[in-house]
Amino acid sequence: MDASPTAAARRAAAIARHLAGLPSGAAAAVAGLQFSPCLSYAPPESSEAPPAFAPMELRALLDGHHLRERDWAYGAMEESPLFCPRRAGGKVFVSPDYNEGKEGQREATMRRIGYLTRRGVFRGWLTEPGPDAELRKLALLECLGVYDHSLAIKVGVHFFLWGGAVKFLGTKRHHDKWLLDTENYVIKGCFAMTELGHGSNVRGIETVATYDSKTGEFVINTPCESAQKYWIGGAANHATHTIVFAQLHINGRNEGVHAFIAQIRDQDENVLPNIHIADCGHKIGLNGVDNGRIWFNNIRVPRENLLNLVADVLPDGKYVSMIDNPDQRFAAFLSPLTLGRVNIAVNAVYISKVGLAIAVRYALSRRAFSITPDGPEMLLLDYPSHQRRLLPLLAKVCMMSSASNFMKNMYVKRTPEISKAIHVYSSALKATLTWQNMTTLQCREACGGQGLKTENRVGIFKAEFDVQSTFEGDNNVLLQQVSKALYAEFLTTQRKKKSFKGLGLEHLNGPCPVIPHSLTSVILRSSKFQMDLFCLRERDLLKQFAEEVARHLAQGESRERALMLSYQIAEDLARAFTERTILQIFLEDEMNAPAGSLKDVLVLLRSMYVMVCIDESASFLRYGYLSRDNVTTVRKEVMILCSELRPHALAIVGSFGIPDAFLSPLAFDWIEANALSSGSE
């Protein structure tokens, strides 16, 4: 360290100039300290180079469908005072008032739903058939989620759980009676499946529905405290009707879980006799949804209220079903949950987009420190460490957008033959995308203290969306289901001596990929290498999983116990399947893009995704797919990719299609937004 008097004098002079804001020289030093020029906000667009690609082209790829309808929905929300418009930094922003109490947030959610109903947002959501109508519905729900998680969940419970159960588990008599009134919010529905004692294990729920052949009614009863319906969105305040999942008992025989329509309130929102409803209370987030608990004390519902597409009870009490196998019948009753998982996964992607758009724009306008004594302070995003914090997240959210579009298209074009595949993909992607959303929202940290302010959205999102990892299926349980499904496919192909077909597993039919001993940047960015590496990991883990289960079976364990004991490899396998799936889907989108600047950026995003998956996962080293030297090379490649993606960051977040009003003051003139004259609190 240079400790000479001359060096000390230079440092002292530099500090004095910094504090005084004056030019160097003796005259300036004698003049004493004076105010330095204040910081001023410069929008990122004023300093960043023009986009190298057309952001609208990338938006078309990421949104996938119904761009015009999305913009219309955003506009409808911006136009209404119900969506809490406020001015900050010269712009108008909309977002819920989280300072309202629980009841205030709930009533605000219902007022917004009423407004959206009048604007025609929900028109055709249950009565208009066809894949395009379903995709339009999903697009509009995604826009509502960008505004507020509570709004999206409240609408989702009503349309996709209650309405979806009536539509997909009911028959014409149910459709004629309930669907149009549901669409117009004449009735308000909820979905009573989860109980205090059973959530993921739906087969074990304890609510009982006993058929009374004398009156032609089902008698629904909550036999014990653990059978109370719990976390039922809409139940605490507003729902008039519910779908009740209960064990169907006929003449002393349990026919398993079935779904029934029951009214729980009258038109004046009074709770009906023999039904008790209690509030679940204040939550860490999602307080605009009135989650409630329900107890049934021998309430009676007509025989016609059994949702009877899968099974029915005749007037004399005879049980009939189009599906003989009880396991397959039970799976059919769970079908409404599939769309719930699809919606949650897609919503997670859009919230990641909002958070990243805010964090990246802030990093392109906020400066800190300088690398020379008299130099300007650097933009946050020009620091390599800050690039490493944000740009890999940017790549992942783009990749996951493609995956969510793939999942939506598969769902709306569903056939009975692909129902199993839909279950596997929706389970894998719901778990992965919601976990990644919570990781992405840690970009709050990249926003410093401003990220703590509720008005800047990113911080409050962490509490609002934490629930995604457990509702509509606990993420860990969902990944176990994925691994079990892959294991079943493995056993079937072995037993029948057939090739793998479906779930993208066709790569197992070919020779085992060979990974080069020494990796270079060119190899690392090769799509062939990337797919080979991900496929090698998946096929090896599937084989290891099957072998470990077989060892436990040979030791006398039951099949379920053997699968349970193999959970570590099962988790690695499910993650390998999901990451390979996401890569494969994005590669197809990339190949369909015309040659040019956009395609070049897609290649960078894809390579960043793969390198970060390798860098963040122990599995590549744990199972020997890559050497230590190669993993080190990958880590260096991440830094190089960060520098190459840096010029495109603003254009990429601009392509997300999130209107300015749905971001936050932090994404724009954050100095003016915090001025004394702004009135911001």
Phi first, then psi, for residue 470 (nearest 5°) are -125, -25
Phi first, then psi, for residue 224 (nearest 5°) are -160, 165
Q: pLDDT tens digit string along 556-593?
A: 999 999 999 999 999 999 999 999 999 999 999 999 99
C-alpha–C-alpha distance, residues 470 and 438, integer Å: 13
Tell the burial category of 541 from Cβ atoms under 10 Å away from its Cβ (0-12, 13-18, 19+).
buried
Statement to judge: residues 113 and 196 lie in one domain: no
C-alpha–C-alpha distance, residues 316 and 324, integer Å: 20
Statement to judge: residues 94 and 156 lie in one domain: yes
Contacts of 56 (CB under 8 A, 6+ apart): 655
If one counts the domains in the chain, the total is 2
Tell the burial category of 282 from Cβ atoms under 10 Å away from its Cβ (0-12, 13-18, 19+).
exposed
Statement to judge: residues 150 and 220 lie in one domain: no
Over range 632-658, report the average pLDDT. 97
Question: Which token pair is 107?
Answer: 């009533």
Closest to 89 measured CA to CA, from 43, 38, 39: 43
SS (H, E, C) 73-138: HHHHHHHCHHHCCEEECCEEECCCCCCCCHHHHHHHHHHHHHHHHHCCCCCCCCCCCCHHHHHHHH
434 annotated to a ligand binding site: no
Helices (H), 413-502: 419-440, 458-464, 475-496
Statement to judge: residues 198 and 151 lie in one domain: no
Q: Are 648 and 52 in contact (CB under 8 A)?
A: yes
pLDDT confidence tier of residue 657, bands split at 50, 70 and 90:
very high
Q: Assess whether pLDDT exceeds 50 at residue 610.
A: yes
Q: What's the confidence (pLDDT) of residue 374? A: 80
Catalytic machinery residues: 472
Statement to judge: residues 130 and 220 lie in one domain: no
Statement to judge: residues 123 and 214 lie in one domain: no
Q: Which letter does DSSP use for residue 228 in this model?
A: S
Closest to 80 measured CA to CA, from 160, 151, 149: 151
Q: Of 287, 308, 329, at which residue does a domain stop? A: 308
Q: Of 128, 144, 172, at which residue does a domain stop? A: 172
Tell the burial category of 69 from Cβ atoms under 10 Å away from its Cβ (0-12, 13-18, 19+).
middle
Domain span holding position 277: 189-308
Over range 227-238, report the average pLDDT. 97
Three-class secondary structure of residue 247 per DSSP: strand
275-279: strand order across its sheet: 229-233, 291-296, 275-279
Domain for residue 286, yes or no? yes
Over range 295-314, report the average pLDDT. 96
Statement to judge: residues 206 and 136 lie in one domain: no
Question: Which token pair is 36?
Answer: 């330095």
DSSP 372-404: STTSPPEEGGGSHHHHHHHHHHHHHHHHHHHHH
Domain for residue 97, yes or no? yes
Statement to judge: residues 119 and 206 lie in one domain: no
Statement to judge: residues 86 and 165 lie in one domain: yes
Domain for residue 226, yes or no? yes
Statement to judge: residues 153 and 239 lie in one domain: no
Tell the burial category of 54 from Cβ atoms under 10 Å away from its Cβ (0-12, 13-18, 19+).
middle
Task: Compute CA 357 distance to the chain's CA centroid, rounded to the nearest angstrom.
Answer: 16
Statement to judge: residues 197 and 296 lie in one domain: yes
Statement to judge: residues 118 and 65 lie in one domain: yes
Q: Which letter does DSSP use for residue 51 in this model?
A: P
Q: Are 69 and 140 in contact (CB under 8 A)?
A: yes
Q: Of 172, 202, 220, at which residue does a domain stop? A: 172
Give the pairing of strands 208-212 and 241-250: parallel
Domain for residue 460, yes or no? no
Domain for residue 375, yes or no? no
Over range 329-342, report the average pLDDT. 84
Q: What's the confidence (pLDDT) of residue 69? A: 98
Domain for residue 339, yes or no? no
Q: pLDDT tens digit string along 418-464?
A: 989 999 999 999 999 999 999 999 999 999 999 999 999 999 999 99
Q: pLDDT tens digit string along 5-48?
A: 455 555 555 555 555 554 444 444 444 444 557 788 999 999 99
Domain for residue 393, yes or no? no
Q: Are 117 and 387 in contact (CB under 8 A)?
A: no
64 annotated to a ligand binding site: no
Q: pLDDT tens digit string along 246-272?
A: 999 999 999 999 999 999 999 888 999
Domain for residue 280, yes or no? yes
Q: pLDDT tens digit string along 48-94?
A: 999 999 999 999 999 999 999 999 999 999 999 999 999 998 899 99
CATH code of the domain covering residue 285: 2.40.110.10
